[in-house]
Structure 1
Amino acid sequence: MAFIGSANAAELRFVLDHSISAPLVIAERQADQPGAKGGILVDLESAIARELGYDAVFQSIPRKRVEEVLQSGSMHVLCHTRPVWLKEPDKLQWSSGFLSTANLLVRNKGGQKLRSLQDLTRGKVGTVLGYVYPELQTQFQSGLLARDDAENEVTNLARFMANRVDYFISEQLFLDYQLLKKPELNAFVSNRMVADKFETRCAMSKLTPVSVTQFDAAVANLKKRGEWDAILVTYR
Structure 2
Amino acid sequence: MRSAMGALLLLGTGCFAECFAEEVPLRIAVTDGWAMPMVQIERGRPTQGIIPDILTSLATQVAMPAQFHVLSRARLDGAMKHGEVDMRCYVSPAWVSDRDNYLWSGPLFFQRDLLVGAPGTPSKVVPAMLGQQPIGTVLGYTYPTLQPLFENGQLRRNDARSQEQVLAKLLAARYRYGVTNQWALDWFNQRHTADQQLHEVAVLQEQELGCYVRNDPKIPAQRILRTLSDMKSSGEIDAIIQLYTGRNADSGTGARSP
So what's the TM-score if we normalise by structure 2?
0.78
Shift of 1:196: 0.8
The residue number in structure 2 matching 1:162 is: 172
Alignment of 1:51 with 2:61, yes or no, is: yes
Counterparts in 2 of 1:35-184, with a 5 A limit?
35-180=45-190, 182-184=191-193
| Counterpart AA for 2:72 | P
Larger RCO (alpha carbons 8 Å, 6+ apart): 1
The residue number in structure 1 matching 2:23 is: 9
Query: Of the two, which has the highest radius of gyration?
Result: 2
Alignment of 1:225 with 2:238, yes or no, is: no
1: distance between equivalents of 2:145 and 2:237?
29
The sequence identity of aligned pairs, in percent, is 27
Gaps of 5+ in 2: 1-20, 246-258
1: distance between equivalents of 2:55 and 2:200?
34
So what's the TM-score if we normalise by structure 1?
0.84
2: distance between equivalents of 1:123 and 1:209?
47
Relative to structure 2, which stretch is displaced further, 108-117 or 167-176?
A: 108-117
Shift of 1:191: 4.9
| Residues 148, 39 of structure 1: alpha-carbon distance in 2 compared, 3 angstrom cutoff | same
CA contact (8 A) 2:59 2:66 kept: yes
SS at match of 1:49: helix
2: distance between equivalents of 1:98 and 1:229?
9
Counterparts in 2 of 1:197-212, with a 5 A limit?
197-207=206-216, 209-211=219-221
2: distance between equivalents of 1:100 and 1:8?
37
Aligned residues: 224
Gaps of 5+ in 1: 1-6
Relative to structure 2, which stretch is displaced further, 17-26 or 167-176?
A: 17-26
Q: Which runs of 4+ in 1 moved over 6 A?
A: none
| Residues 50, 106 of structure 1: alpha-carbon distance in 2 compared, 3 angstrom cutoff | same
SS at match of 2:68: strand
Alignment RMSD: 2.2
| Residues 210, 18 of structure 1: alpha-carbon distance in 2 compared, 3 angstrom cutoff | same
SS at match of 1:164: coil
CA contact (8 A) 1:103 1:172 kept: yes
Q: Deviations over 1:72-91 (max 9, x none)?
A: 22210011122333444344
The residue number in structure 2 matching 1:189 is: 198
2: distance between equivalents of 1:203 and 1:219?
11
SS at match of 2:244: coil
